[in-house]
A and B are shown apart, each in its own frame.
Chain A
Amino acid sequence: MSAAAASGSSLAASLPAPLSDILAHPVGHGVIIGGIVMTFFMMVSAWSIWFERRFAGRMQSRVGPNMVGPAGLFQPLADAIKMMRKEMLTPSGADKVLFWMAPPLTLFFTLATLATIPLSEDLLIADLDIGLLWVLAFSGLMLFPTWIAGWSSNNKYALFAAMRAVAQGISYEVPLLLSAIVPVVAVGSFSIADIVRFQGEHGWLLFWPVGPGALGFVIFFVASLAEANRIPFDIPEAESELVAGVTVEYSAMMWGLFPMTEYVHTLIASALASALFLGGWYGPFGWAPGLHWMLGKTLFLFFVIFWARWSLVRFRADQLMRLCWLWLVPLSLLAVCGAALWVAFSGGAA
């Protein structure tokens, strides 16, 4: 790989001999750190489903899952075992190869974005020169499996959902890319780790005096909610109109991969927003940097997403498009111009 650099030097140095050698090698580094980061994201996503159901129960004056294990904590395990033991059906009119390809692809593209998102100075799989572009490229590819699933099912609801998903995806891609440019302009690098380090020295981008940072953060957060198809942007799987969206014809674990991926995607979007705008692993005023800050911010944003989900209602498709093209796109252009002016007049950070 071109610009991949093993960044876990301090971690590698602190470990005993065989482990530090493996970590110093790019492949060993990728496998070990990648394994840790991926396992972490999958585990948090699984138990966030339990948390969300309990939290939703609280908001709606009911209990939520509380039977399996202490306080219902084993519910995700029980769900997973149940789904794996079910039969996987293929509709007779489906395009079989594409139908079976879609769920694994969606998980693959989502996990691929993890490669360049730093959790801390050490927990970074690869510090690429094009880190942010890598993430945006793979999150753009996320539309493919959704579309393939909807089309290959040969089901009108699934096809409608796929059509809405692609329309929404390519629209919200524009403000997402533009608002992600704001930190790039400010820092002068596409590497997410560089962006975080810059914020460690100059303060979080969210709290910039003039405000393109705050504007960029809000737009980025809203657009990534739309990309992850979370309420209030879950038009592609509006269950009251489209039964279950693109997942109508799927069963068992093939179905299970879709909601699982959605949670992982949402968690990754929270992590990316924390790294780009909220200073990543640095605390406010740069004190006590470490993993705990990054985790705290990521989980807080994740919680805000749940909160929004159970507080807001779903947009109509036309309202969704109006919000994107009439508000988010012009505002994100404004944020980029603001960031460029800020850099030009403050002498340039790059």
Chain B
Amino acid sequence: MIAMIALSLIALCVVSAGLFAVRSTNLVHSVLWLAVSLAGTSALYLMVGASFLSAIQIILYTGGVITLMLFGVMLTDRNETTKIGNPSERKRLGAVSALAVFALIASAVSSMSFTGGGSTIVHTKAIGQALLTEHLLAFEALSILLLAAMLAAIVVARRRDP
């Protein structure tokens, strides 16, 4: 019961932080709300026993991606350039795409079978072994994708030879 209430409270935090991230007219506040939302997702993972996923979520998303975003908005002046408008002329298009994404996720969730209950703890070692044996191909494909992205970034950012 207590776990259920805590889970709902965290979920509420995640959703409202996401809403603030979208609605804020201050660029920096948007990024920081997004960080709160991602950290809250990590707390959700922790609550359902996926502790490894939760730590990775913090390290990669909050600690990595958001930090890079902060880097991007870093040179904004506090009073003027961080103000952003929230253009709302494409409300219908936005609503349609939001509903489509919701339908996709809902159908994916409803087609899964949840057995085992909320008390199963997946050990980190088991995840590592599964990644490097059963899902080795997907793992390597992902690493090649990341390598390609990195190389592309270097090529784009490289100083042109005279």
Q: B64 contacts which chain A residues (CB < 8 A)?
A: 140, 170
- The contact string, 1 if C-beta is below 8 Å from chain A, for chain B 7-32, is 00000000000000000000010001
Within 8 A of A (CB), among B50-69: 50-52, 54-56, 58-59, 62-64, 66-68
**How far is A134 from B59 in the complex, measured between Cα atoms in Å?**
9
The answer on a CB contact under 8 Å between B52 and A129 is yes
**How far is A337 from B46 in the complex, measured between Cα atoms in Å?**
31
**How far is A187 from B158 in the complex, measured between Cα atoms in Å?**
40
Contacts A141-B63, A144-B35, A189-B125; A2 near B74 (Cβ below 8 A): no
Q: B78 contacts which chain A residues (CB < 8 A)?
A: 93, 95, 151-152, 154
The answer on a CB contact under 8 Å between A143 and B59 is no
Is B93 an interface residue when CB atoms closer than 8 A count as contact?
A: no
8 Å CB contact of B67 from A133, A134, A170: A170
Is A338 an interface residue when CB atoms closer than 8 A count as contact?
A: no
**How far is A134 from B46 in the complex, measured between Cα atoms in Å?**
11
Nearest-neighbour CB distance to chain B for A151, whole angstroms, equals 6
Scoring A151, A154, A159, A173 by chain B CB atoms within 10 A of each residue's CB, the highest score goes to A151
The answer on a CB contact under 8 Å between B51 and A129 is yes
The answer on a CB contact under 8 Å between A147 and B70 is yes
| Residue in chain A with minimal CB distance to B75 | A163
Nearest-neighbour CB distance to chain A for B93, whole angstroms, equals 33
Nearest-neighbour CB distance to chain B for A170, whole angstroms, equals 5
The answer on a CB contact under 8 Å between B124 and A143 is no
Q: B52 contacts which chain A residues (CB < 8 A)?
A: 129-130, 133, 190
| Residue in chain B with minimal CB distance to A147 | B70
The answer on a CB contact under 8 Å between A151 and B28 is yes
The answer on a CB contact under 8 Å between B55 and A188 is no
**How far is A173 from B63 in the complex, measured between Cα atoms in Å?**
10
Number of interchain pairs (Cβ within 8 Å): 87
The answer on a CB contact under 8 Å between A2 and B51 is yes
The answer on a CB contact under 8 Å between A1 and B46 is yes
Q: A169 contacts which chain B residues (CB < 8 A)?
A: 67
Is A246 an interface residue when CB atoms closer than 8 A count as contact?
A: no
The answer on a CB contact under 8 Å between A140 and B74 is no
8 Å CB contact of B59 from A93, A140, A190: A140
Q: B71 contacts which chain A residues (CB < 8 A)?
A: 163, 166-167, 170
Contacts A130-B124, A166-B74; A137 near B63 (Cβ below 8 A): yes
Q: A188 contacts which chain B residues (CB < 8 A)?
A: 125
The answer on a CB contact under 8 Å between B51 and A130 is yes
Is A291 an interface residue when CB atoms closer than 8 A count as contact?
A: no
Is B135 an interface residue when CB atoms closer than 8 A count as contact?
A: no
8 Å CB contact of B58 from A98, A140, A166: A140
* Chain A interface helix/strand/loop/mixed: helix
**How far is A87 from B75 in the complex, measured between Cα atoms in Å?**
30
| Interface residue count on the A side (C-beta < 8 Å) | 36
The answer on a CB contact under 8 Å between B58 and A137 is yes
Q: B74 contacts which chain A residues (CB < 8 A)?
A: 147, 151, 159, 162-163, 166
Nearest-neighbour CB distance to chain A for B92, whole angstroms, equals 34
Is B106 an interface residue when CB atoms closer than 8 A count as contact?
A: no
| Residue in chain B with minimal CB distance to A350 | B125
The answer on a CB contact under 8 Å between B56 and A133 is yes
Is A320 an interface residue when CB atoms closer than 8 A count as contact?
A: no
Is A17 an interface residue when CB atoms closer than 8 A count as contact?
A: no
**How far is A297 from B138 in the complex, measured between Cα atoms in Å?**
43
Within 8 A of A (CB), among B33-61: 35, 46, 49-52, 54-56, 58-59
**How far is A166 from B63 in the complex, measured between Cα atoms in Å?**
11
The answer on a CB contact under 8 Å between B55 and A134 is yes
Nearest-neighbour CB distance to chain B for A165, whole angstroms, equals 10
Contacts A162-B74, A163-B74, A170-B68; A3 near B59 (Cβ below 8 A): no
| Residue in chain A with minimal CB distance to B35 | A144
Is A128 an interface residue when CB atoms closer than 8 A count as contact?
A: yes
Is B79 an interface residue when CB atoms closer than 8 A count as contact?
A: yes
Nearest-neighbour CB distance to chain A for B50, whole angstroms, equals 8
Within 8 A of A (CB), among B115-153: 121, 123-125
The answer on a CB contact under 8 Å between B67 and A143 is yes
**How far is A163 from B75 in the complex, measured between Cα atoms in Å?**
8
Q: B75 contacts which chain A residues (CB < 8 A)?
A: 163
Complex A-B: 27 CB contacts under 8 Å? A2-B49, A95-B28, A130-B51, A130-B54, A130-B55, A133-B52, A133-B55, A133-B56, A137-B55, A137-B58, A137-B59, A138-B58, A140-B63, A143-B63, A144-B35, A144-B67, A151-B74, A151-B78, A159-B74, A162-B74, A166-B70, A167-B71, A170-B67, A189-B125, A190-B52, A190-B124, A350-B125
Measured CB to CB, the residues of A under 8 A from B are: 1-3, 93, 95, 98, 128-130, 133-134, 136-138, 140-141, 143-144, 147-148, 151-152, 154, 159, 162-163, 166-167, 169-170, 173, 177, 188-190, 350
